[in-house]
Structure 1
Amino acid sequence: MLKLFKFTFLKKILVKKDNTSDKDLKTIIKNGAFLVDLRTIGEFAQGHVPGSINIPLNELGRNLNLFKNKKNIVVCCFSGNRSGFAKDILEKKGFKNVINGGAWEEIYRLVNK
């Protein structure tokens, strides 16, 4: 139990989620944001947010065309680190509407409240 607590605590410290409030993030997602999970195919298969699509971080560059003309883009991963990196990449490629949603499990809980 202590290990789980330590892991959860460390995960919250290390997550690089944007400053978007949970309420705003939930609204953006419910209004049809392009929700992208950057974990590996295997991680995604173990669980994901319904409606999200899986584009592993190492395949992001090959799939930039999927992001065009999206009103809002929310990226997530296991902890928020990969999604933070992906947000930087997407913004450097000219996408201005990208939100680092952080950990996919947090988004899952948020949209299922």
Structure 2
Amino acid sequence: MNELKNSYLFWVLIVGLVAGFLSNAKDERPKSLKQRFIYFVTGAISSTFLCWMTYEIAFYYIAQQNPSLAIGGFFAWRGAEWATAIVDKAIYAKIENLGGSDDFKN
């Protein structure tokens, strides 16, 4: 029973690794084999972690495994830099909307 309960972790791992591989394939390649290996491993680990995080958030809201896994795979493929840029852009827009006038001036 516990095996079926945690089977989603296997799929999150597979989707994260594939997304990490695909996102690294479009980037420029380091010159040495050691650099390529380190680049791939760090990219795959970060993509898998991002896939797991977004899967858990999506599953909390929609409570379905397949769409949550697809959302996690999308964010893993796009990468952490893209997600951070989107969040930063939203925060700056909110600050600009709230901070149109300085509250400390008379």
**TM-score, normalised with respect to structure 2:** 0.29
Task: State the structure with more CA Rg.
Answer: 2
Answer 1 or 2: which has greater helix percent: 2
**TM-score, normalised with respect to structure 1:** 0.28
Answer 1 or 2: which has greater strand percent: 1
